[in-house]
Structure 1
Amino acid sequence: ELVSDLSENDRVIFLLSGGGSALLALPAEGITLADKQSINKALLKSGATIGEMNCVRKHLSAIKGGRLGKACWPATVYTYAISDVPGDLATVIASGPTVADPSTSAEALAILKRYAIEVPVSVRNWLQSPESETVKPGDPSLARSHFQLIARPQQSLEAAAVKCRQAGFSPLILGDLEGESREVAKVHAGIARQIVLHGQPLAAPCVILSGGETTVTVRGNGRGGRNAEFLLSLTDSLKGLPGVYALAGDTDGIDGSEDNAGAITTPDSYARAAALGLSASDELDNNNGYGYFEALDALIVTEPTRTNVNDFRAILILESTKHDA
């Protein structure tokens, strides 16, 4: 309603950040909010990437995928965004309400089929109609729309690296990572083990830093978001490897739908949990990272931070056991 009657003399400023996809919701014609919510919940549990989820969201929305920007025509639009997505793609941040979208309705349908998402008839009919297509590159209605990125996840990693150097630790930035949380954790564990045992690819004391947005395929009935899942898998993989400490958290202060930002693990976490009767592998099978770290009093609780530059992971390695021949 606010942008329905603008002139070429008007200026519109959009401020976008993480969470925009979920909070800026207006279902397309013929689709109910309940339909969108059920599909979104199913996608969150399926292991779909943020790009795949936002492709579907855009094509079920009346404002995402450039549609809100198109509605502002002929006004001049300025969008300033904080990225919370791997690659900082303007089309993915908050599902790109003011920028052109190259993805298609056919791709959205293919994603739903790939993850075996139950699709209501109204949604399927909409996605098969020409009206479901988003605003495409070159559309004249976006000719006066401008986009500028003002903060991105890489900056948080670089800032952390500066702090590491100041504290006497060599940083290793792995960048934005995607994939299953538990599998990404195994890769991090492998790098940490290589540093501890062989001093490669860098010598301790050091810190492995990474960001991005991993996914969780929900198989169990436990609690916890993708960062708790990552850290639980890391704990299970390291099994108390000496001198290795780690934290993982979401920079918005909320890991998944829980009340924690993330958690920490230490060399004695694995043994302490076992003494309490908790098996890291069993809890991982049940997607119960929250419960595991809650029992260890190792949850990180910040409350909402009011910003979001995606996930943040740091693995601190104090020393290497490598000895020169």
Structure 2
Amino acid sequence: MSPRGHVACLGAGRMGRGIAVAFAYAGHPVTMIDIKQRTPDEFARLQREALGEIEATFATLTRLGLLQATDAAKLMRKVAVAPADTRDGVLAHTMLVFEGVPEIVDLKREVLAAASRAVASDVIIASTTSTILVDDLSGAVERPERFLNAHWLNPAYLIPLVEISPGLATGPEVTERLKTLLEGIGKVPVVCAATPGFIVPRIQALAMNEAARMVGEGVASAEEIDKAIRYGFGFRFAVLGLLEFIDWGGGDILYYASRYLEGALHSDRYRAPEVIEKNMAEGRIGLRSGAGFLDYSGLDVAAYREQRLGALVDMLRHHKLARPPVVD
């Protein structure tokens, strides 16, 4: 496929606009296709709104130093909004389609079915749903082997991660093609099973609910909890992955800490999962044993630790928290 082939977004809402910015920024022409039949005046209003938001986004990226003003004007020429009755003509010349309509199963199935009949047989079609499983939608798609889910995190044009969730019918080569294309525009794709919540929404739902619960319990103010997240929780996990962090300290530490919290707070939501106990029984407790969730065999552990600590120092500098020593 052409590295700068045409990309279509079904829907011109927030997700479609974010994806349009991401692909246009990487040099691809992008068309957001309206899914509703509108009067000419109604469509003109949607078009002004969508293109106006994208233009404002490029202006913001210019102020943030990611674009020159002249670049923003050129990128705007790569983005278009098309009315619903031109859908098939637009899709006939596209290499990749993202569906970004509201989270209504029947509506998504209707839109995906129509799009799958209009595109070429080898065109990848991806839903961007954040809640609906790919196999609940794939039955509506002609040639479902080229269909999968691509969950972007907002703002889609800035956050690198895209969670790819193949369905039972998805061809492995389709997953690889989409990964390659996303990497080509600067994204970091990860592949996960078709399961509710994917990866990030599932983890962040637990963390957000716990933060809200602590406010409700009077543990700390919202401001103090958010400060703790920015400079403790988020600070570390911007460098170390969650499972890597378990290995860093040791799975046994998590196990015993979980047991204490479960008892002290009288809630099984803190209970360690079986995989933690299984790893301990097998001696896979992390860096100290050479393996945990990750394999550290053959790794220069001292160099690895220093590299990660160096990344944390870079974070300190970024937040202007790195201070010189006081030497008397």
TMscore range, shorter length: under 0.3
Larger-Rg structure = 2
- Structure of greater relative contact order (alpha carbons < 8 Å, 6+ residues apart): 1
Higher strand share: 1
TM-score (norm 1): 0.26
TM-score (norm 2): 0.26
